[in-house]
Structure 1
């Protein structure tokens, strides 16, 4: 009679041989399909940027007289200088930078102050307050611009950069608070207990102990808020009417109207590249912070 242990040994050995070595998961068919879909999407996005760059380096005569997909033979880098000076992109760029940085700093600061008591201090009604903040994510912007317009008009902030900064800062608050609350809940409470033993009050504990640990979370909401503020078009179009105070998205819309009726297409494409490049550079260098900050609250 054969030993059961000996009889099952080859089967176990064959199963071990079929298992993948190391930490790599076995390659399956749906992996290939997923990679193909992602590759097609990436190629389409990169192709769009390459097409805009190619069009921005043409002359108006070449752009109108040749195929839209024909490679440029002129390399007119002066289009960027023309868009920056004559088309007013420098003014739009400065306005967007001022509004984007100001709204991002104000929104991130307020979200951190609001998230700390919701995540670290136990009190009755904290879950309800957090739910009220998060419900702001479900409010469509179409139903808010009329009350905001009337409010800014009453306070004398209509057609001002300060009013746009306040609107952008509050617009990003629900998402920022939601992310920071999840991030702060991952921090061990022993840190605050040790600070209390050393005699630190709640304010000192928050500034000296909690804030230095919020780097990944604050980096993620800072980048996302700035990108949202940089690309926002509708509120800037409704609340700003003076050309000298318009932001880049509204300025590009003005340039699009000029290109439609004046055939200044290469100036428009050059302005689009000037607008997109800072966003691409920031996201390329800081995308790891975005991923780490957003996923830090998923595990505890």
Structure 2
């Protein structure tokens, strides 16, 4: 009995060691970025890995005033929110139809959604560029919203399909007996019950849209329409050859904060949504 306890203790320690090492590898760059955002350029060049002498928020002020981070942040917020609303609206209704109704080519449609998740974004840049140019939505934030929403629909449909399949049909039958039509059943019964799944896909999609760079770089050229990731990429050009590293790291921290806070506050709902949805098992 004593030997078993010792073996369990050793196993527990051996299991935690790689987890601790992985946590250090992940957290160290984040902590280093935060500390670097308070340094002056002189301090950074003198000792990149030391603590800042003074915790001064001047770099954050520079990021907003000199590099237009506030404008870029507003663009990212607007594009991400509207893309989420559009994507979730179409994906939720499409997933419900695929789960609850059988019609010709429904199986093929499911496989198309599934296969679309494995198409690399780089392969679709040129066709999307030509399409947006033809409909005069190139260098347009609404065009970027459409591209973001369309790119996330396959994954959202996949996850919501698994989640909606776990909801019993008896709720819908009872609602129809009470006089609900199809839209009433979908939005008054199913949508509230699928709240955990909707929150999960919303968080995943927000992180994807917020941090997206390649499509924004390809389809947006005007400075006033740049998203936050583009703004950070062009932040080095503000100082040309004398890059203000403190302001650059301050911008990186500004990019990271929304996703970190959102995930920290809603991590339980993300986990429950994944367990009940399409990624279960």
Deviation at 1:31, TM superposition (A): 4.7
State yes or no: 1:254 paired with 2:262: no
* Cα separation, partners in 2 of 1:28 and 1:124, compared to 1, 3 Å: farther
State yes or no: 1:54 paired with 2:35: yes
Return 250-259 or 78-87, whichever deviates more.
250-259
Give the alignment of 1:33-112 within 5 angstroms.
33-64=14-45, 66-112=46-92
Give the alignment of 1:180-199 within 5 angstroms.
180-199=160-179
**Match in the other structure for 2:267:** 287
**Match in the other structure for 2:196:** 216
Q: Distance in 1 between matches of 2:118 and 2:33?
A: 34
Deviation at 1:297, TM superposition (A): 2.9
Is the Cα–Cα contact under 8 Å of residues 59 and 76 in structure 1 kept in the other structure?
Answer: no
Is the Cα–Cα contact under 8 Å of residues 158 and 239 in structure 1 kept in the other structure?
Answer: yes
**Match in the other structure for 1:265:** 245
Is the Cα–Cα contact under 8 Å of residues 112 and 180 in structure 1 kept in the other structure?
Answer: yes
The gaps in structure 1 that reach 5 residues or longer are: 1-13, 21-25
**Match in the other structure for 1:119:** 99
**Match in the other structure for 2:206:** 226
Is the Cα–Cα contact under 8 Å of residues 83 and 268 in structure 1 kept in the other structure?
Answer: yes
Report SS of the residue matched to 1:123: coil
For residues 265-294 of structure 1, the C-alpha deviation after alignment (integer angstroms, 9 at most, x for no partner) is 111011111111111111100111111111
Is the Cα–Cα contact under 8 Å of residues 67 and 238 in structure 2 kept in the other structure?
Answer: no
Q: Distance in 2 between matches of 1:19 and 1:28?
A: 9
- Count of matched residue positions in the alignment of Structure 1 and Structure 2: 279
Greater gyration radius: 1
**Match in the other structure for 1:244:** 224
What is the CA RMSD across the aligned residues, in angstroms?
Answer: 2.1
Q: Distance in 2 between matches of 1:215 and 1:225?
A: 15
Deviation at 1:34, TM superposition (A): 3.6
